[in-house]
Structure 1
């Protein structure tokens, strides 16, 4: 009987060791941490290129776009786009907007007063690329490359 007890104990010990050696170690959290939120407050100026249905491709020659970010709270910011001619005196349009920075700290999503949506990327601390789309008649789309001014 003593041999049976020793054999059972050894079998049990081997089974426990095998189970303990084959389990996975606890994994660390796989949820990525939110990226640092950049401050976009200030003026950003740049060029535009786009397409408008009925008019075709254009680089909006002679016009400048300025994005003035007047307020930012965490990942949400707001301001106004101002479109001017080369002299800076003729204002083509002012467009208030509100926007968010994605958790990745680089992707931007915007909506403008009067219609139109923009998605974009923060390229660096001093450069942003925005893609504007408007489905109104005539529909149009544009690429805006802005630098901090």
Structure 2
């Protein structure tokens, strides 16, 4: 695996694309390897700025997102992803050393500051992540996203679009 900002592998139909955003190289490589071994296509970014650029270019189905990063942290990247018309459909799996309750509290404060317009994240796994937890949450998120996409398509068909 390449230790640089991004790593793309061959696409495996039916699995999806996962963008791994984490400032710790060993965790980026580990998380990407877990997803690649399970048949996902992966790309990597080392901070929120690079993560947003990569997401804009690559259009992932899922973003594995650390919260505590330099330059632009994970919560700010989450806000930017959900505000972008093309990227807001990507699922977001937070993978962080911040405990679940502390994370939810931080997100509620950010949500309050944004007028309540910020959606909840799709999933959360505490570091260090077990491979099974990553894959279980990713599958659940992507399945839910697929059902939402099918519902949107059905609505478009019903509306004659």
**What TM-score do the two structures reach when normalised by structure 1?**
0.28
Structure with higher Rg: it is 1
Relative to total residues, which structure has the larger helix share, 1 or 2? 2
For normalisation by structure 2, the TM-score amounts to 0.27
More strand by proportion, 1 or 2?
Answer: 1
